[in-house]
């Protein structure tokens, strides 16, 4: 997830009607994010994951990204 995706989700949640339910806000965020996840991107993700699975250095890097990224998203949410 990049901060652009986080921004898409946050904007959709902010634009959701105040009278809506929390699940409505989540649905809006998922719908906004869906424009990013095209079939081509999905295929590339499978290829990328295959390469990462074969290389211990890349596995370590991926774990680090998954640890750091949530704190970046929280920072973006708080901004």
Q: Within the chain, what is the greatest distance between any pair of CA atoms? A: 49
> Can you give the pTM of this predicted structure?
0.52
Three-class DSSP category at 52? helix
Q: At what angle do helices 39-53 and 56-78 cross, to 10 degrees?
A: 130
Q: Domain locations in the chain?
A: 3-78
What pLDDT digit, counting tens, does each position of 12-71 carry? 999 999 999 999 999 999 999 888 888 898 899 999 999 999 999 999 999 988 887 666
Structure-block tokens of residue 57? 């250095």
Distance CA 42, CA 16 (A): 27
Query: Around 63, how many Cα atoms within 13 Å sit in the side-chain half-sphere?
Result: 7
């Amino acid at each position: 997830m990049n901060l652009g995706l986080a921004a898409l989700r946050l904007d959709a949640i902010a634009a959701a009607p105040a009278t809506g339910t929390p699940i409505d806000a989540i649905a809006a965020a998922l719908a906004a994010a869906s424009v990013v996840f095209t079939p081509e991107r999905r295929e590339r993700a499978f290829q990328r994951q295959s390469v990462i699975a074969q290389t211990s250095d890349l596995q370590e890097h991926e774990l680090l990204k998954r640890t750091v990224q949530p704190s970046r998203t929280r920072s973006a949410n708080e901004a």
